[in-house]
Amino acid sequence: MAEPRKLTPAEEARLAQVRDQFKQKQAISNSLNSIKYRIGVYSGKGGVGKTTVTTNLALTLAKHGRKVAILDCDIDCPNVTRVLRISERPGADNEGKMIPPSKHGVSVMSMGFFQENEDEAIVWRGPMIHNAINQFISKTNWGDIDYLICDLPPGTSDAPLTVMQTLNLDGFIVVSTPQELAALDAKRSINMIKKLNLKVFGVVENMTGGIFGKGAAIEMAEELELPVLSEISLLSDYSDSFDPVVHTNDTSEKEFERLMKNLDSITSQL
């Protein structure tokens, strides 16, 4: 019987890479086993209020008894720690996994914890962002969680694509403001999600009313036959960065409770 052919160095390297990828995927899967639902909050462009929607939705879920965590996947510009005013850094369990700190009943993991200076620029290429996201997911002890809300990077480039392919999200909440261009970019992000054969739960029109007007995101959702999960009013209370708006403003509380109820209704059918 002929002896098996020896692998070339290039083949050995490729085989080692495949083994490493398998181990990484296994570690990520094991880390996420205790999480019931994984929800992405996504937009086609920055500045439409993804992080505001993420944090206030998480706070509303926690207020109503859900176990909630936020994964701030925006490696370049992490903002969740600033919005929630979390200064405590992650701890570690007996296995060396990170334990996310919490505020208002919401656990948080973010690149913001690892910046020496909050205003420093994180200038990383795609592979480094990919590695950081994988590390956050696989090296974190999430505990038993009902909802992991993932604040995704905006756009349709490498960073959000990495998150979508790595996390195996149950579905997406797409955020847009009422302007026509914002709705167009939101439509592009929805088409990206669909190309990956993932689910779009619906659209949130954020900053609606006042000088921004209303309606473009709602019309876009109707065109794509997607539900409008909530309309979030443009309120002056959002300029107060020390208290969560859903804890201080009745209008905001009702708008995010509507979003929560619609999300609950969708996830109960998964």
Kindly state whether residue 56 falls inside one of the protein's structural domains: yes
Spatial CB neighbours of 136, under 8 Å, sequence gap ≥ 6 = 71, 73, 109, 111
Tokens of 24: 């990484």
Is the pLDDT at 264 greater than 90, yes or no?
yes
Sheet containing strand 200-208, strands side by side: 102-103, 106-110, 68-72, 145-151, 35-42, 171-176, 200-208, 228-233
Task: Give the bridge partners for 38, in sequence order.
Answer: 148
Kindly state whether residue 73 falls inside one of the protein's structural domains: yes
Q: How many domains does the chain have?
A: 1
Kindly state whether residue 222 falls inside one of the protein's structural domains: yes
* Residues 124-160: tens digit of each pLDDT: 676 777 788 888 788 889 889 999 999 998 887 777 8
Gap between the Cα atoms of 181 and 213, Å rounded: 13
* Residues 56-112: tens digit of each pLDDT: 999 999 999 999 999 998 877 888 998 999 988 899 998 888 999 999 999 999 888
- Note down the domain range covering 125: 32-267
- Predicted pLDDT of residue 5: 76
Structure confidence at residue 255 as a pLDDT band (50, 70, 90): very high
What pTM was computed for the model?
0.88
Question: What is the full DSSP assignment across 74-123?
Answer: -SSS--HHHHHT--PPPEE-TTS-EE--EETTEEEEEGGGG-SSTT----
Kindly state whether residue 115 falls inside one of the protein's structural domains: yes
Residue 237 sits in a domain of what CATH number?
3.40.50.300
Give the mean model confidence (pLDDT) for residues 176-187: 94
Mean pLDDT across the chain, nearest whole number?
88
